[in-house]
């Protein structure tokens, strides 16, 4: 770290950003770059959970995607990036969601085994068994359709459930559709579009406004550019 960068940090308060490994981390890197922040270690090769950046007072912590809202709610992280799917299921309260970053884009869908007549089952009001990690979103979706369903909470590999008779349908995230195809499943309903958002601790936003504001502004600009490159 250069002397100038060290000086830059003087008199500034620390900022901690919570990210999950994988797509969210990878797609947040360009946004951080736009804010002049470079993460100095790669979470895929480093075992460290606290990663330094080129800014002496900015650190990145690596947590599970579903834990990001919790770290931010309690102020252990000042801000974080979490998917809409995670935020909907999270019980975390009092988080600001100032920016839809337009990253880690995918959609949430209902899928069934090939050959299962979903339309007919819905028409006759069958009581479907629905396996999902996204129980709130699934419950709301079927309630809106006026269907009584039994929700079975799973923590992963949802695609397996209809194949072994655990459920009739699944509610899962779909990106390329390859996972569904590989498991002989088909999408029958698109529930909602999913992107990742910035979440901010309320107290941090008040107490560290000077440090945070430029980063939030850069994120906002960069996310507008992601959404429609011609606006950038």
CA atoms of 193 and 85, how far apart (whole Å)? 9
Q: Which of 174, 185, 199, 216 binds ligand AMP (CB under 6 A)?
A: 174
Choices 54-62, 112-120, 167-175, 211-219 (CB under 6 A): range interacting with ligand AMP: 167-175
If phi > 0 it is left, if psi is from -120 to 50 it is alpha, else beta; for residue 171 that is: beta
Q: Least distance in Å: CB of 83 to ligand AMP? A: 5
Residue 15 pairs with which residues in a beta bridge? Answer: 58
What element of type H or E holds 143?
helix 135-144
CA atoms of 79 and 197, how far apart (whole Å)? 10
Residue 73 dihedral angles phi and psi, to the nearest 5°: -55, -45
The answer to whether residue 173 forms part of the interface with ligand AMP (CB under 6 A) is: yes
Q: Least distance in Å: CB of 23 to ligand AMP? A: 6
Per-residue contact flags (x/-) with ligand AMP for residues 63 to 92, judged by CB under 6 A: --------------------x---------
Sign of CA dihedral 61, 67, 69, 72: negative
What element of type H or E holds 87?
helix 84-89
The answer to whether residue 108 forms part of the interface with ligand AMP (CB under 6 A) is: no
201-230 positions binding ligand AMP, by CB under 6 A: none
Q: Which of 4, 93, 176, 228 binds ligand AMP (CB under 6 A)?
A: 176
The answer to whether residue 175 forms part of the interface with ligand AMP (CB under 6 A) is: yes
Count of positions on this chain that bind ligand AMP (CB under 6 A): 12
């Amino acid at each position: 770290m250069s002397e100038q960068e060290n000086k830059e940090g003087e008199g500034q308060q620390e900022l901690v950003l919570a990210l999950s490994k994988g797509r969210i981390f990878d797609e947040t890197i360009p946004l951080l770059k736009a804010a002049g922040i470079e993460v100095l270690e790669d979470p895929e090769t480093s075992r460290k959970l606290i990663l330094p950046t080129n800014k002496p007072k900015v650190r990145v912590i690596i947590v599970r995607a579903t834990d990001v809202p919790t770290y931010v709610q309690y102020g252990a992280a000042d801000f974080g990036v979490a998917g809409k799917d995670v935020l909907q299921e999270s019980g975390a309260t009092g988080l600001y969601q100032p920016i839809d970053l337009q990253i880690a884009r995918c959609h949430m869908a209902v899928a069934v085994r090939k050959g299962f007549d979903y339309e007919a089952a819905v028409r006759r009001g069958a009581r479907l068994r629905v396996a999902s990690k996204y129980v709130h979103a699934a419950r709301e979706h079927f309630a809106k359709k006026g269907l009584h369903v039994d929700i079975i909470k799973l923590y992963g590999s949802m695609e397996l459930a209809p194949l072994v008779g655990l459920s009739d349908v699944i509610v899962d995230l779909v990106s390329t559709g390859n996972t569904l195809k590989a498991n002989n499943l088909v999408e029958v309903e698109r529930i909602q579009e999913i992107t990742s958002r910035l979440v901010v601790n309320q107290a941090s936003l008040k107490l560290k406004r000077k440090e945070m504001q430029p980063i939030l502004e850069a994120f906002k600009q960069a996310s507008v550019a992601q959404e429609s490159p011609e606006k950038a």
